[in-house]
Amino acid sequence: MNPIIKLSDNAASRIKEIMSGVESNSIGVRVAVKSGGCAGMSYVMEYAKEINPSDEIIEDKGVKVFVDAAAVMYLLGTEMDYKKEEFSSSFVFNNPNESERCGCGESFKV
């Protein structure tokens, strides 16, 4: 079975870097999906301070990612990457389930 989310080397490195500088009660990052944005849904990333009973736990390249149960069906097969450009940097979700993405790249539709 394919994992819900795969991490690129860049994403794993950036998460490790971020986690090394946060308070010790954070245990990883949580990925969720919420309604909003011009295309209807957007990705949410936050520090995970505890394991929710319904979380899917992904361990990849030495990083723990907690996936909100409500987001699983939207994220199946997604690769999380980290892009750094001259004036910006961000996590990017390469999601095969997307049927549409807004022009700014902040929201999507399945």
So where are the chain's domains? 5-109
- What whole-number distance in Å separates Cα of residue 31 and Cα of residue 85? 23
Q: Looking at this protein, which amino acid is placed at residue 97?
A: N
In this prediction, residue 10 has a pLDDT band, given cuts at 50, 70 and 90, of: very high
78 and 65 Cβ atoms separated by less than 8 Å: no
pLDDT of residue 99: 74
Q: What is the CATH number of domain 5-109?
A: 2.60.300.12
Give the model confidence (pLDDT) of 42-88 as tens digits: 889 999 999 999 999 999 999 999 999 999 998 999 999 999 988 98
- The long-range contacts involving 93-100, CB below 8 angstroms and separated by at least 24 positions, are 93/43, 100/39
30 and 64 Cβ atoms separated by less than 8 Å: no
| Between residues 20 and 24, the one the model is more confident about | 20
